A and B are shown apart, each in its own frame.
Chain A
Amino acid sequence: MLIINCPICGPRPEIEFRYGGEAHVARPAGTETLDDQTVADRLYMRTNPKGLHFERWRHAHGCGKYFNAVRDTVSDFFVTTYKAGEPKPDVAALLKDQAR
């Protein structure tokens, strides 16, 4: 079981959380004028990387808040978690810090 660090409550076991899929998938503006491919890209296309993944989690059995995380999908190691609405963190710098 993973230990996930909720930015509000701190480290908690995985079963308290719900996975929320890829993060930072912004809804394109001007819905009335969008073509089908743009809508499909947002709704269905996913990066699904083998490596670092920006993703959403919800602390469903805790504070109830959504937040974002960066996780390595090969090792399931969490590089960091951060509050919803905050910009993408500088992952390269974080990894360097952690290696030190």
Chain B
Amino acid sequence: MQKYSAFELFKRALGGHQGWERQWRQPALKPAYDAVIIGAGGHGLATAYYLAKEHGVRNVAVIERGWLGGGNTGRNTTIIRSNYLFDESAALYDHALKIWDTLSQDINYNVMYSARGVMMLAHTVHDVQSAKRHIHANRLNGVDNEWLTPEQAKEFCPPLNISQNIRYPIMGAALQRRGGTARHDAVAWGYARAADALGVDIIQNCEVTGIRRDASGAVEAVETTKGVVRTKKVGVVAAGHTSVVMAMAGLRMPLESYPLQALVSEPVKPAFPCVVMSNTIHAYISQSDKGELVIGAGTDAYTSYSQRGALHITEHTLDAICELFPMFRRMRMLRNWGGIVDVTPDRSPILSKTAVPGLYVNCGWGTGGFKATPGSGHVFAHTIARDEPHPINAPFTLDRFRDGYLIDEAAAAAVAH
């Protein structure tokens, strides 16, 4: 792998930027692998990278029906935070947050992680109580989170409208300073390049169409549009399509797939210093390094695989943005799009072994899995390599729905992202 550095950039500049290597190969699918990952989103690619790097499992294929990073990874609004309520969640998301800190160095790829602070607004007495409960729980878990008065919130984010005359006046905010954003595409590309360099084959434009099991019921091969691949270990990391893929092995999942939309404005000079989220009025916003305002909505009402949602959902979000940040009222929106997010009943992910030997699943990240990409790949690789969960993902089993050990972030906050 050609190492990226300031020196290398300088050297290539002298040569007119000729001779940069391709970032990853375009290998042909081999007849057999030690492990196959279904889905080349951030989580699947990170899983393959840590399988190769930390567990020496390098004969791995990541199989992707479209192009790598073209699923939710390339469609999300990139908010990173770890201020979840329950101990299990705090451990999982904070594990990821710690990896974000040094990820660019580790994979030699600038993922543009920017800990600019994530501020979550409270508009009702219930919001205030819930935010404070989160702050206390987070601090007990060593996760930073602090309460701001409306005036302090405005000091942190000057465009914020803290007037008492709006429909849902701001009563305060919870701020996680270590939270922030990263560049979504760079996360997929960086993990792809690093995994490829360790020998992982990334096979794009290849859909998995079947999972074959032997007489004992264990996984023996996957069928794809480019042929059959023998393997004893399959990791399903297919986000919105997880139910469809798991059905190939005869398993039903506690998942529903919903459209989730986002949009960006025309690019402007730096005007917005942090990430602001409001779960009560369904809006969140940050500014990308390109200058676009990145705005996200809540999920659409009904399950769908259409990768698009209804306009009234984004309109509702823009109403909220205009009320919270009046200076953006005359901004024009450039593009909007949707992704398909796989939602669990307790809004916590599933990183788990399954009833089928050799079949592992990493799903249910719903509206908020980008932030967990490095940590998720790290513990899921451990689960696949050792055939047992890492202590951090041990609670996130599929069996928790049978055994009643839900990790109910849904009831805790009803938050998105």
Using CB atoms and an 8 Å cutoff, list the residues of chain A in contact with chain B.
1-2, 14-15, 17-19, 21, 36-37, 40-41, 43-50, 53, 55, 71, 73-76
Which residues from chain B sit less than 8 Å from chain A, CB to CB? 241, 243-244, 252-257, 301-306, 310-312, 345, 401-404
List the A side residues contacting B243 at CB < 8 Å.
46-50
Q: Which 3 A-B pairs have the closest CB atoms?
A: A48-B243, A44-B254, A40-B402
Q: Is the CB of A73 within 8 A of B304?
A: yes
Contact A19 B244 (CB under 8 A): no
Please determine whether B253 and A14 come into contact, CB atoms closer than 8 angstroms: no
For A43, what are the chain B residues with a Cβ–Cβ distance below 8 Å? 345, 401
Q: State the Cβ distance, B252 to closest chain A Cβ, in Å.
A: 4
Across the interface, do B256 and A46 meet the contact criterion of CB distance under 8 Å? Answer: yes
Q: Are B403 and A36 in contact (CB under 8 A)?
A: yes
A46 engages B252 (CB within 8 Å):
yes
Interface pair B253/A48, CB less than 8 Å apart: yes
CB-CB nearest in chain A for B304: A73
Bound: A92/B230 CA distance, A:
36
CB <8 Å contact, A37 and B312: no
Cβ-defined partner of A55 (8 Å) among B255, B257, B303, B312:
B303
Checking A45, A49, A73, A76 against B254 with a beta-carbon cut-off of 8 angstroms, the contacting residue is A45
A2:B305 contact, CB within 8 angstroms: no
Query: B241 to chain A: which residues have CB within 8 Å?
Result: 50
Whether B311 and A1, one on each chain, are in contact in the complex, defined by CB atoms closer than 8 angstroms, is yes
What are 18 inter-chain pairs, A to B, with CB distance below 8 A?
A: A1-B311, A1-B312, A2-B310, A14-B301, A19-B301, A36-B403, A36-B404, A40-B401, A41-B252, A43-B401, A47-B252, A48-B257, A49-B244, A50-B244, A73-B257, A73-B303, A73-B306, A76-B304
Could you tell me the distance between the alpha carbons of A75 and B308 in the complex, rounded to whole angstroms?
10
- Chain B residue at minimal CB-CB distance from A75: B306
Q: Is the CB of B301 within 8 A of A36?
A: no
CA distance A78 to B305 in the complex (A): 14
User: Which residues of A are found within 8 Å of B311, using beta-carbon distances?
Assistant: 1
- B255, B310, B401, B402: which contacts A14 (Cβ < 8 A)? B310
Q: Which residues of chain A have C-beta atoms less than 8 A from B255's C-beta?
A: 46, 48
Cα A75 to Cα B243 in complex, Å, equals 18
Please tell me which one of the listed residues A1, A19, A45, A53 contacts residue B253 in the complex, with CB atoms under 8 A apart: A45
Chain B residues whose CB sits within 8 angstroms of the CB of A55 once the complex forms = 302-303
- Which residues in B have their C-beta under 8 angstroms from that of A53? 303
CB–CB A44/B257 < 8 A: no
Q: How far is the CB of A38 from chain B (nearest CB, A)?
A: 9
Residues of A within 8 A of B301 (CB): 14, 17-19
CA–CA, A1 and B302, complex, Å? 12
Which chain B positions have C-beta within 8 A of A74?
A: 304-306
Looking at the assembled complex, report how far the CB atom of B83 sits from the nearest CB atom of chain A, in whole angstroms. 26
Residue on B nearest A17 in the bound complex, by CB: B301
Which residues of chain A are near B401, meaning CB under 8 Å? 40, 43-45
Indicate if the CB atoms of A37 and B310 lie closer than 8 Å: no
In Å, the complex CA distance between A34 and B252 comes to 19
